[in-house]
Amino acid sequence: MHKTRNINLDLIKVLACIEVVLLHTTMIGFKDTGSWNLLAYLYYLGTYSIPLFFMVNGYLLLGKRNISYSYILQKVKWFLIIVSSWNIIVWLFKRDFAVNPIKKIVGSLLQKGYFSQFWFFGALILIYFCLPVLKKILNTKRRYLYILSFFAAIGLIFEFVDIILQMPLQSYVIQTFRLWTWFFYYLLGGLLAQFDKDFIKNGFKRWMKVAAILLLLFSPVILFFLAKTIYHNLFAEYFYDILFVKITSLGIFLTVLTLSLDENKSKWIVSLSNQTMGVFIVHTYVMKVLEKLLGFSYTGAYLLFPIFTLCISFIVISLLMKIPYFNRIVKL
């Protein structure tokens, strides 16, 4: 039986993609001064990109009836092909022949090398190897809640310790291995997949959507305040463990998941969704090119930076998707 594509999940992926570009492009504009401005607002608005990506992936995979190791190995194989291919391309382009490309490939999965954002794939690979066992354990919603509570408790401990130390303890662990955080968001997405979509839509009331949107819009102010007064660190990555971000991420996810979308708009949503992984891969290099070509010495240019980066990245990926082989390494 053919399964209908969930366009709402596609829209969440597009939203997360926009947010991750915001996260990387706007930091440049305020990190040196550390002062509050529009760029700071946009930067912290991008905080929810990574939680949303993990939640979508968890929703899709844990929503399956069975997850076999053969299926997981196939998925991991493609992750490694994509990571290796892009690293080799840059290695050849830069003529970095004095460096072992294997080190660059492995390093990118550990937040180093040519593509530091590939830590996300490294974390997903680690999660994927646990999925067949987890799927057997998580055979009831109650078990989902038990395990989610366990990871939430770890997050609260980190939040409490961070407040006491006045610094993020997570800074000592590279993002690939902050699995207590990624498992939480992944399993949260998986839990939502266990409920009928109409049940969620009826249960998630209009006032809840309004509250979720207000939380999202006001959250940058709160996160900036925490960064300056408690964490003494501007990076948004250290806020993924706090309860406020978890609640807001859930609210955003449910708000978009329960939207009634126009079927006529579904084609462009699916088209953009299919390009999100490619944009995630190339946008950092698009940023570097734009920085060299345009320079960013005034605020207006920094505000245009995210827009230019996002638009050009989507154009580049739409073109690459028409080229043999490249069309295989810009999407899963």
Q: What is the pLDDT of residues 119-130, one digit of tens each?
A: 999 999 999 999
51 within some domain = yes
45 within some domain = yes
Could you tell me the pLDDT band of residue 262, with boundaries at 50, 70 and 90?
confident
| Total domains, the chain | 1
pLDDT of residue 297: 55
Task: Reply yes or no on whether the pLDDT at 32 is more than 80.
Answer: no
pLDDT of residue 190: 96
Could you tell me the pLDDT band of residue 300, with boundaries at 50, 70 and 90?
low
**Residue 201 sits in which domain range?**
7-63+138-328
Would you list the DSSP string of 191-233? HHHTS-HHHHHHHS-HHHHHHHHHHHHHHHHHHHHHIIIII--
104 within some domain = no
pLDDT of residue 299: 59
Cβ proximity of 270 and 19 under 8 Å: no
Q: Tell me: the pLDDT tens digits for 36-71?
A: 888 899 999 999 999 999 999 999 999 988 899 999
pLDDT of residue 65: 85
Could you tell me the pLDDT band of residue 216, with boundaries at 50, 70 and 90?
very high
- At residue 27, φ and ψ (nearest 5 deg) are -60, -35
124 within some domain = no
Task: Reply yes or no on whether the pLDDT at 1 is more than 60.
Answer: no
- Which residues touch 244 (CB under 8 Å, ≥6 apart)? 219, 222
CB atoms near residue 142 (< 10 Å): 9
32 within some domain = yes
Position with higher pLDDT, 295 vs 14: 14
Q: Which one-letter amino acid corresponds to residue 173?
A: V
Helix runs in the chain, H state only: 7-30, 38-45, 49-62, 69-94, 101-109, 119-137, 141-165, 179-193, 197-203, 206-226, 243-257, 266-294, 299-320
Instruction: Give the mean pLDDT of 179-200.
Output: 96
Cβ proximity of 182 and 54 under 8 Å: yes
Could you tell me the pLDDT band of residue 3, with boundaries at 50, 70 and 90?
low
**pLDDT-above-90 percentage for the chain:** 81
Could you tell me the pLDDT band of residue 229, with boundaries at 50, 70 and 90?
very high
Could you tell me the pLDDT band of residue 166, with boundaries at 50, 70 and 90?
very high
Buried b (16+ CB within 10 A) or exposed e, 270-308: bebbbbbbbbbbbbbbbbeebeeeeebeeeeebbebbeb
93 within some domain = no
Cβ proximity of 113 and 165 under 8 Å: no
Task: Reply yes or no on whether the pLDDT at 201 is more than 80.
Answer: yes
Q: Please name the residue that has the structure tokens 């088209």.
A: 271
Q: Tell me: the pLDDT tens digits for 142-164?
A: 999 999 999 999 999 999 999 99
pLDDT of residue 298: 53
